[in-house]
Structure 1
Amino acid sequence: MNRKTFAILLAFLCMGFGDAVGPFVGLAKEQFALSNFEAQLIAFMGFIMFGLLSVPMGLVQDRTGKKFVLMLGLAIALLGLILPLFGLSSYALFLLTILLLGAGAAILQVAGNPIMRDVSEPGKYSRNLSFGQFIKAIGSLSGSLIPFAAAKWMGMDWKVLFPVYVASLLITLIIIGFTKIEEQKTDSPATFRSCFSLLSNRFILLMVLGIFVYVGIEICLSSGVPILLSSHYGIDLKTWGLLGNAFFFIAILSGRFLGSVILTWMKPRTFFRLTVALSILGLLLVFVDNRVITLVGVFLTGLGFANIFPLIFSITVDSMPERANEISGLMVTAIAGGAFIPPLMGLLADATSVRFGFIVPLIGIGFIALLTLVKPKVQE
């Protein structure tokens, strides 16, 4: 592994910190005595910036370069995570922290996914992006494992995450600052019009919607699993409930590593179909009222979910590589699905039950299954 790849993989690790929003939902629900809907608003704050910033940052990136935008994202996330170091006294302050963390993660996604193509060999982008997402999953997993370890063995609470994340972001910012990266340039600068005009392409539009739905249902799982284990099986939310969430991210971590290997010999679209089928099976098992079967379902869902994002992203970019910055802006904008879909699950859970709320991600994965049948229109 060369220095450039290592630096980018560190940025992917920091992207994963944004996924701590999922575990934060259950933890903040307990600390601030929130309803399911109020707790899921944390996910809304964490992901709404993807909808607001992604396309503008894609255009900025087209002019200033991906490395500059990558460093900007790291700096904004760092600012957000510094705030709790001075005390986390209110729900409102916590929402501000999550808003800045989400803004930083959004900007990192805009730059990180296409910059991986700049350091990838021809035909290896899907594999390398899956490996990058594997590294990101390590960052995601930290949001569950670090608080679990802190509470179980060190007598500390979940807020120990903030100094750990601050140190990691600062180190990554320094390393990337001193790393020279040669970026592929486009002949014509991107504009808002050229970016959104891509949505007239049916394939691009459907794949962007796929990202919107996928991210939303992933956050539904990461935030809903600890609450499900607590409400239905009496599992302590601050310790073993978090471990249930970690179980989901361990499955994602394992699936992304396996995906980076499998994609060396299997076509991305074939693998896409297999991973969606596994996701559907896992989600159906979550509805079985048995703790062991539920956990098996969570694990299988994580394995299936693992490569959906990098597959949709890379398949779409490879269909129009000359429009990578614009596609990246649209795709990362669609991560705002993480803001809108989890509150729907929260409302349904409040009206029925926590388990029945999982109908929302089940419907979502059904939509993504339809995308596996859509063929890309490759530019000649």
Structure 2
Amino acid sequence: MTKKTSLAKVLPVLFGFFIMGFVDVVGISTSYVQKDFQLSDSIANLLPMMVFLWFAVFSVPTGMLMNKIGRKNTVLLSMVVTFIAMLVPLVAYDYVVVLVAFALLGIGNTILQVSLNPLVSNVVSQDQLTSRLTLGQFLKAIASFLGPIIAGFAAVSLGSWKMLFPVFAGITLLSSLWLLLTPIPRDERVEETTSFGEAFGLLKDKTILLLFLGILFVVGVDVGMNMATPKFLMARTGLPLEEAGLGTSLYFAARTAGALIGAILLAKFNAMKFFKISMVVAIGAMVVLIFSQGAVMIFAMVAVIGFALANIFSIIFSMALQKRPERGNEISGLMIMGVAGGAVLPPVMGIASDAIGQVGGLLVLLVAMGYLMATSILVKINK
């Protein structure tokens, strides 16, 4: 009976990770918005910037808010903001309105990412926490994988790709109601508050700075691949957007598989060696991708890159915690701020793509991967 009660509390919390994955729809949405309004790459790529910019702005304030209203209420607040974001494009549809919608999506996702992980610890024991968080990331990856498929289906069968928004809105509403009606134990509301000064002060440590930039670049590469894949496929193979968008789904499917396999391998192999090998594979696949012409080879290299990068975020995050375990809260907040990397690389990619074509965007990603490779070599963590 206890197990059933525990499961009844765990499931609505874990389902929040599925809602977290909605943020990745910005990749395929950028392609559709660019097509609808005939935008240049540099202008279209402002969309992901509007999503991920808020991770730099709201991460620490969300932690402070969570101390006052509790973890569950903070997660519920994030879902309300996400629900509103999904309704905005249905009320009106132009470029400015879409920017507003994705800004709200970014704010909601920031609040959700900061608050949902701690909430999991309220409903599971410490020895189960890692496995449950891994399961949550798996659910997030499923949502990321389904986004482009739903968008393509909506465009072909429902008359408009925008019909994915009411689908996501409905799922968000059901998730929030499920969580609202679920009693969550041990919702501690008083914890030590992390200030901006304390968080940024950690960057004086060169290792922490390297790892913070590592988070920034790995998220930037992830978002960049999400956006660049459909455009590169259309440019090289002439596929229509509805079919080219499947490249993004393939990328996230490969990431999902990589995360599951990585969780097993990392229990047996050294994380630093795993980091180096993963980056060698990812860089090699990116070089091949840049020179690829056929759809099959492009799809294959996109999958390899997604598979190779699947565990880099978690490796860097854990390395940062190992470096300064006594400042775990501040480290966590700082690393989540690094998710703003999703707002940094896409505009640079857009400028490069406008200048020399879609290869320009991929070259920006290659440089970012080079930094990650350097990080895997330079950072030394003494356990």
TM-score calculated relative to the size of structure 1: 0.90
Instruction: Name the structure 2 match of 1:190.
Output: 194
1:317 matched residue in structure 2: 321
Q: Per-residue CA shift, 1:148-184, capped at 9, x if unaligned?
A: 22334x2432111111111111122122222414367
- Is 2:10 aligned against 1:10? no
Secondary structure of 2:227 counterpart: helix
Q: Which residue of 1 aligns with 2:3?
A: none
C-alpha separation in 2, matches of 1:282 and 1:361: 12
Alignment map for 1:70-109 (pairs within 5 Å): 70-88=75-93, 90-109=94-113
Match of 2:330 among 326, 332, 351: 326
| 1:247–1:156 distance in 2 versus 1, CA, 3 Å | same
AA aligned to 1:375 is: K
- Structure-2 residue corresponding to 1:37: 42
2:234 is matched with: 230
State whether residues 281 and 297 of structure 1, in contact with CA within 8 Å, keep that contact through their aligned partners in structure 2.
no
Q: Is the 8 A contact 2:233 2:298 kept in 1?
A: no
CA drift at 1:299 = 0.5
* 8 Å contact kept, 1:50–1:102: yes
The structure 2 residue matched to 1:163, chosen from 166, 176, 190, is 166
User: What is the CA deviation profile of residues 181-230 of structure 1, one whole-angstrom value per residue up to 9, with x for unaligned ones?
Assistant: 43678874322322222222333222111111111111111101101111
Residue 65 (structure 2) aligns with: 60
- Of 15, 23, 30, which residue of structure 2 is paired with 1:25? 30
SS at match of 1:227: helix
Q: Of the candidates 213, 216, 234, which is equivalent to residue 217 of structure 2?
A: 213
Structure-2 change in CA distance of 1:325 and 1:81 (3 Å): farther
Given the alignment of the two structures, is residue 47 of structure 1 paired with residue 56 of structure 2, yes or no? Answer: no
What residue is the counterpart of 2:177 in the other structure? 174
Shift of 1:117: 5.3
1:261 Cα deviation (Å)?
Answer: 3.2
Number of the residue aligned with 2:208: 204
Identity of aligned residues (%): 32
Residue number among 132, 147, 154 corresponding to 1:150 in the alignment: 154
Q: Provide closer, same or farther for how the CA distance between residues 181 and 280 of structure 1 changes in structure 2, counting only shifts above 3 A.
A: farther
Match of 1:349 in 2: 353
Per-residue deviation, 1:63: 4.5
Judged with a 3 Å threshold, the aligned counterparts in structure 2 of structure 1 residues 128 and 267 are, in CA distance, closer, same or farther, namely farther
Deviation at 1:282, TM superposition (A): 2.1
Counterpart in the other structure of 1:137: 141
**Compared with structure 1, are the counterparts of its residues 120 and 377 closer, same or farther at alpha carbon in structure 2 (3 Å cutoff)?**
farther
**Cα pair 2:68 2:190 within 8 Å, conserved:** no
| Alpha-carbon distance between aligned partners in 2 of 1:314 and 1:183, rounded to the nearest angstrom | 25
Cα distance per residue 1:281-315 (max 9 Å; x no partner): 22122112322222211010010121222222233
Which of 272, 288, 293 pairs up with 2:291?
A: 288
Q: Do the aligned residues in 2 keep the contact of 1:14 with 1:136 (CA within 8 Å)?
A: yes
Gap runs ≥5 in structure 1: none
In structure 1, C-alpha distance between the alignment counterparts of 2:228 and 2:14, rounded to whole Å: 28
Partner secondary structure for residue 358 of structure 2? coil
Residue 11 of structure 1 contacts residue 172 of structure 1 at CA under 8 Å; is this kept in 2? yes
Q: CA RMSD in A?
A: 2.4
Which one-letter code corresponds to 1:72 in the other structure?
L
After superposition, the Cα gap between the structure-2 partners of 1:129 and 1:309, relative to the gap in structure 1 and judged at 3 Å, is farther
CA contact (8 A) 2:55 2:106 kept: yes
Q: Number of residue pairs matched?
A: 375
Residue 125 of structure 1 contacts residue 314 of structure 1 at CA under 8 Å; is this kept in 2? no
Letter in 1 for 2:308: G
Say which SS state the counterpart of residue 2 (structure 1) adopts: helix
Judge which range, 97-106 or 355-364, deviates more: 355-364
Q: Distance in 2 between matches of 1:259 and 1:116?
A: 22
Per-residue CA deviation, residues 242-283 of structure 1 (Å, 9 max, x unaligned), is 112211111112212222333443444443333323322221
Task: Flag the 1:196–1:65 CA change in 2: closer, same or farther, 3 A.
Answer: farther
- Is residue 242 from structure 1 mapped to residue 245 from structure 2 by the alignment? yes
Segments of 5+ residues of structure 2 without an aligned counterpart are: 1-5
Look up the SS of the partner of 2:292 in the other structure: coil
* Residues in 2 aligned to 1:175 and 1:236: alpha-carbon distance in whole angstroms: 38
8 Å contact 1:126–1:311 — kept in the other structure? no
Q: 1:173 to 1:376 in 2, by over 3 A?
A: farther
Give the stretch that moved more between structures: 24-33 or 202-211. 202-211
Alpha-carbon contact 2:67-2:191 (below 8 Å) kept: no
- Normalising by structure 2, we get a TM-score of 0.89
1:21/1:205 CA distance change after superposition, 3 Å: same
**2:202 maps to amino acid:** L
Aligned to 2:339: 335
Corresponding letter in the other structure for 1:75: V
Change (3 A) 1:35 1:119: same
SS across alignment from 2:239: coil
Which stretch shows the higher mean deviation, 174-183 or 291-300? 174-183
Partner of 2:116: 112
Deviations 1:85-120 (A, max 9, x none): 3232x1111110010001101111112344445666
